[in-house]
Amino acid sequence: MLDDRARSLLKTLVERYIADGTPVGSRTLSRASGLDLSPATIRNVMADLEDLGLIASPHTSSGRVPTPRGYRLFVDTMLTSRPLDLEHAPPEVAAATRQLHPDQPQRVIAQAASLLSNLSHFVGVVMAPRKASVFHHIEFLRLGERRVLLILVAPDGDVQNRVIFTARDHSQAELLEASNFLNAHYAGLTLEEVRGRLKTEVDALREEITQLMQAAVQAGTEAMAESSDNVVVSGERNLLDVQDLGHDMGSLRRLFGVFEQKTELMRLLDVSSRAEGVRIYIGGESQVVPFEELSVVTAPYEVDGRIVGTLGVIGPTRMPYERMIQIVDITARLVGNALSVK
């Protein structure tokens, strides 16, 4: 546990390093902290902070820089970030708000990623809203022995097709019986609701038909999930201008691979959507962006009171966290408001 003096010096060191990007020495700390301490005392405190793994000394300088562990303590216990008021937002946020046109959800997502990138000067990432896996109509088409084509139509007209491999061969008449039962009893429900009711309400149906319908629900759930798994990334090239990253082309190539693949980003954003408010991953804590020099700030966004997606900023660990938290938080609220407009 740090005493007040050590906390104050660590806070000052982190803030100075974020602002200037140069290792912070004891003389700078003495001036910036406002504490009446001798240089020897400050050096002793810095040595203690270094022993705790909160700061480190680069080879090129006698000053100190925060470690990811030091940033984590700073963010968790020393940062006081107030949410921005939508009605009294800074001019650049107010101007950017007018870019979010709610005419098409996908357009809002792309605009939000660009907004995050422009405001932060780092990388903006936005996960498209998850579609509720509601089906309007379902059909089965026999393709061959033990092969069935599932055709799933959503309320908005979106059509998903999946090939199902069944335990035994089914005639087209049996497939029609199954699709008629599903359409008559379950149209308009989510596939999760259908899954639950199939377990208790299909005693009247033959077991093999029940198994077919359960396989169809599973395949339909996967198909709809894949159709909505979409991440928009904006501003990747901003990282080339970051002092701490621009020289490490190997790390940048791996990071750009993460941006291009998007699967891992989806996993991170999906996990973040289960938490309330802003989440911060520092120096590889996310596992998805496993770089000591990078941090990720995320927040879920809601549509009509339901969390449907996540957005965030990826940038250097030496980022102004208070500002990033405000940018991510207000963008999440703006996206939620835009997508809730009917």
Distances (CA, A) of 330 to 54, 111, 129, 282, 338: 30, 14, 17, 21, 12
Per-residue pLDDT averaged across 141-151, rounded?
88
CATH number for the domain running over 4-77 = 1.10.10.10
Domain with CATH 1.10.10.10 in the chain: 4-77
Residue 48's pLDDT is what? 94
* pLDDT tens digits, 204-231: 556 666 777 778 777 776 666 555 457 8
Mean pLDDT score of the chain, rounded to an integer?
A: 82
* pLDDT tens digits, 38-69: 888 988 999 999 999 999 988 766 789 999 99
Task: State the architecture of 137-228 in CATH terms.
Answer: 2-Layer Sandwich (3.30)
Q: How far is the C-alpha of 136 from the C-alpha of 141, rounded, in Å? A: 17
Q: How far is the C-alpha of 250 from the C-alpha of 271, rounded, in Å? A: 27
**Lowest mean pLDDT, pick from 18-32, 133-147, 214-228:** 214-228
* pLDDT tens digits, 287-298: 766 677 889 999
Residue 73's pLDDT is what? 95
Residue 28's pLDDT is what? 87
Domain with CATH 3.30.450.40 in the chain: 86-128+230-340
Residue 81's pLDDT is what? 74
Q: How far is the C-alpha of 83 from the C-alpha of 295, rounded, in Å? A: 20
Residue 186's pLDDT is what? 83
Relative to beta strand 231-234, strand 123-127 is: antiparallel
In this predicted model, which residue has the larger pLDDT, 159 or 295? 295
What residue has token string 């098409």? 104
User: Which fold, 86-128+230-340?
Assistant: Beta-Lactamase (3.30.450)
In this predicted model, which residue has the larger pLDDT, 262 or 240? 240
Domain with CATH 3.30.390 in the chain: 137-228
Q: How far is the C-alpha of 295 from the C-alpha of 315, rounded, in Å? A: 6
What residue has token string 């008449």? 173
